[in-house]
Amino acid sequence: MDWQAFSLSIELAVVTLLVLLPPGVLGARWLARTRFSGKAWIEAFVVLPLVLPPTVLGYYLLVSLGAGSPLGAWMLETFDIRMTFNFAGLLIASLVFNIPFIVQPV
């Protein structure tokens, strides 16, 4: 067994849970209790990671967070953080992918 991969998976799961749980519960509660004209669009946007294939979602995240994108270039210049192929990028991908799994059940 590859213990490094196992420990990275456990670390990612714990950090994703800790970061996503409070805003996920609050957002789900807000969506459940309010009525407004754009609610269907927000709900569709929240469920979008379930509809997109994982490879497409991963490609979009690589393109939007890479050093050639405005966001990736800004993070690299300002904070000296590469958003791809490290834990920060993995965490962002995990958060984006798991949003529907916290909002929909709650």
How high does pLDDT run on average in the chain?
A: 93
Confidence of residue 1 (pLDDT cuts 50, 70, 90): confident
* pLDDT tens-digit readout, 43-94: 999 999 999 999 999 999 999 999 899 999 999 999 988 888 899 999 999 9
pLDDT of residue 31: 93
Question: What does CATH list as the number for 3-101?
Answer: 1.10.3720.10
* pLDDT tens-digit readout, 12-56: 999 999 999 999 999 999 999 999 999 999 999 999 999 999 999
H helix and E strand count, the chain: 5, 0
Q: DSSP E strands: which ranges in the chain?
A: none
CA distances from 2 to 5, 73, 102 (A): 6, 33, 29
